[in-house]
Structure 1
Amino acid sequence: MTTAFRVHALPAELLDRLRVSGVDDLGNAVERLTAAGGEPVRCCLRDAEAGEALLLFGYQPPLPASPYRETGAVYAHAEPCAGRARLDGYPPAWRGRPQVLRAYDDRGWIHDARVHDGHAPETVVADLLADPAVVRVHSRNVAYGCFMFTITRS
């Protein structure tokens, strides 16, 4: 089964606001740091290279107000980057990386969740999006639970 989907990195408008204000949407100071290398950068959906300037801040992924709405720490480049060139496929840097895919309905309630090993993620995404009640899927880190990106139908 194949389902066309789009991957959404962090919005550029959000990152521009954080870079200028130095404060995240929860009122916490944005931390500026230098990458050790390997930090998952949510603006362009790849791992940071050692020495890159990063921001670390609290982020609430897009969901309606619900008991399942969460806030967690995410990394982004400290300066504007090229972002993600393609939004119509799974991020190449996350292939082979185990992730949790959480499917949400229009109320922002978890509808289903799957752990996958990072190989053939399109199959898991297609299975979750096959349910018409699902409106978005969040990808999260298996170990830390950090938000990575949002997936919607094309």
Structure 2
Amino acid sequence: MKLHFFGLPSAAVEAIHRTGLDSYGDPLERHPSAEEGGMPCRHCLQHVPTGKPFLALAHRPFAGRNPFTETGPIYLCDPLCAPAAPSPEVPAFLTAPQYILRGYDSDERIIYGTGAVTPRTELTAYAEELLSRDDIAFVDLRSASNNCFLCRIHRAD
């Protein structure tokens, strides 16, 4: 099975930049990236270059709302960056030793028992395993240490 890693959709990121508000309706925080390698942008799936501005905000990467549609902190380039092309490769900014993968159904509900802390070297294999199931529509990849949304994984067409 082939799969693709996706950043946040451009329409959602453009709306964030246009309104200046996060998923809670709070103003976005703007900061200069001071860390070596920058902060991980969820739109271009690259680090914000050191010294360049970034946005910190609460984001809910789901279309609807239910008890499983988590909201958490993310970073975005400021100004708006080009979107990441869907790719079968694990995004390069993912350098931690492990991550959380969770399968969701088409109603954006977590499929019980799919969430697992997964070594970076096994992300693709576990995502393929999850997406081989008919009841799983997509997989979210999150930080194992902070539970932040990082990117979404879909079956490749």
Could you tell me the TM-score, scaled by structure 2's length? 0.86
Name the SS of the counterpart of 1:49 in structure 2.
Answer: coil
Aligned residues of 1:95 and 1:119 also touching (Cα < 8 A): no
Corresponding position of 2:24: 26
Corresponding position of 2:128: 126
Aligned residues of 1:22 and 1:29 also touching (Cα < 8 A): yes
**Shift in Å at residue 131 of structure 1?**
1.3
Corresponding position of 1:50: 50
Name the SS of the counterpart of 2:121 in structure 1.
Answer: coil
Match for 1:22: what amino acid? G
**Shift in Å at residue 106 of structure 1?**
2.1
Corresponding position of 1:35: 33
Corresponding position of 1:16: 14
State, as a whole percentage, how many aligned pairs show the same letter.
26
Q: Please show how residues 1-154 of structure 1 align to structure 2 within 5 Å.
A: 3-37=1-35, 38-62=38-62, 64-94=64-94, 97-111=97-111, 112-154=114-156
RMSD: 1.8
Closer/same/farther in 2, CA of residues 46 and 97 from structure 1, 3 Å limit: farther
Matches of 1:81 and 1:103 in 2, distance apart? 28
Aligned residues of 1:72 and 1:147 also touching (Cα < 8 A): yes
Could you tell me the TM-score, scaled by structure 1's length? 0.88
Matches of 2:47 and 2:84 in 1, distance apart? 13
Unmatched 5+ residue regions in structure 1?
Answer: none
Closer/same/farther in 2, CA of residues 16 and 64 from structure 1, 3 Å limit: closer
Structure 1, residues 80-103: CA drift from partner, whole Å, max 9, x if none? 223213434321332554210011
Unmatched 5+ residue regions in structure 2?
Answer: none
Structure 1's consecutive aligned runs of 4 or more residues displaced over 4 angstroms after TM superposition are none
Matches of 1:109 and 1:17 in 2, distance apart? 24
Match for 2:25: what amino acid? G
Matches of 1:36 and 1:97 in 2, distance apart? 23
Name the SS of the counterpart of 2:43 in structure 1.
Answer: coil
Matches of 1:74 and 1:98 in 2, distance apart? 18
Matches of 2:101 and 2:27 in 1, distance apart? 29
Matches of 1:8 and 1:86 in 2, distance apart? 5
